[in-house]
Amino acid sequence: MDIINGNLKDILDNLYDGVYIVDRERRIRYWNKAAEELTGYTSSELLGSCCYDNILNHVDGKGNNLCTKGCPLVEAIKGKEIDETEVFFHHREGHRVPTLIKALPYRDKRGDVIGAIEIFSENSERKNILKKIKELEKLAMLDELTQLPNRRYMENILEMKLNEYRLNSVRFGLIFMDIDHFKKFNDEYGHDVGDLVLKTISSTFSNNLRGDDIIGRWGGEEFIGVFSGINKSGLKRVAEKLRVLAEKTSVKVGGEDLKVIISSGAILVDPGDDVNTLIKKADELLYRSKRNGRNRVTMG
């Protein structure tokens, strides 16, 4: 017997939000069109599989795998309604996408719980980032490969933020990031795979920023993030979040999932800093992370 009738299916198929329904064994029984657009996975690929097969591989902001522990759908099957919360799912192309989800029990006509329904949508902050990207395209300040702001734009941003700091004491933070063992991707799998790694990690970065923050490609496998109105503990949380989401990002080559990890140096602007001194200090912290084992953040 179908878990969803035709009229309800027509309504759900025309929603802008992603919707999927699982039965009590957590098998996916319905996957709407918006879910296909948001995740890259079609309903024909997912129907009949279990949500805990880690296809979407939901994680929270700390990198915890929600499919194996803390799954909102499990609680919904128990009859609980799960309020809106942010999770990060694994897009078909490999990057992490921030979404706001809500899980509800799915009941039959008698009121018995026969499964759970999850409703999800992109975090609105990401829409602000996409708008910003469109503006950058007009200024020809995007890196062609990654579609992130390029070095020229980031230098301009740093000058602007430094001027704000000198005039109005508006402090900001800088995170310098580098993909660990990037040469190995090029040497062992070819430059096409290296380019794919750069594009995939760039998508993870750009999808997971606050509206006023920005990350650009500095050069090669190096990236710089500028974070406004932030203190040291806040900067550390952001740097760790990006590190964890990078670690949860992968690129599929053949039948192999290539994991991506980054090392970072994070620092707050100080009086007397200019673009060169700020970059130099962050770069030194980055290479301290490299020397201490990689896949870590070093704070200034």
* Amino acid found at 270: D
SS3 content of the chain, % helix, strand, coil (to 5): 40, 30, 30
- Whether residue 148 contacts residue 217, with contact meaning beta carbons closer than 8 Å, is answered with yes
Q: Is 221 a catalytic residue?
A: yes
Place of tokens 């990401």: 126
What are the Cα distances from residue 109, in Å, to 113, 114, 179?
10, 10, 53
Q: Which of 219, 183, 220, 225 is nearest to 204 (CA)?
A: 225
The tokens of 163 are what?
A: 């001027």
Strands (E), the chain: 18-23, 28-31, 82-90, 96-107, 113-122, 172-179, 214-219, 222-228, 250-253, 256-259, 262-268, 297-299
- Whether residue 263 contacts residue 289, with contact meaning beta carbons closer than 8 Å, is answered with yes
Q: How far is CA 262 from the centre of its chain?
A: 14
Q: Which of 37, 125, 221, 284 is catalytic?
A: 221
CA distance 153 to 156: 5
- Whether residue 207 contacts residue 95, with contact meaning beta carbons closer than 8 Å, is answered with yes
Q: Which helix (H) or strand (E) holds 190?
A: none
Q: Do the bridges between strand 250-253 and strand 214-219 make them parallel or antiparallel, or are there none, so unpaired? A: unpaired
Residues annotated catalytic, as ranges: 221
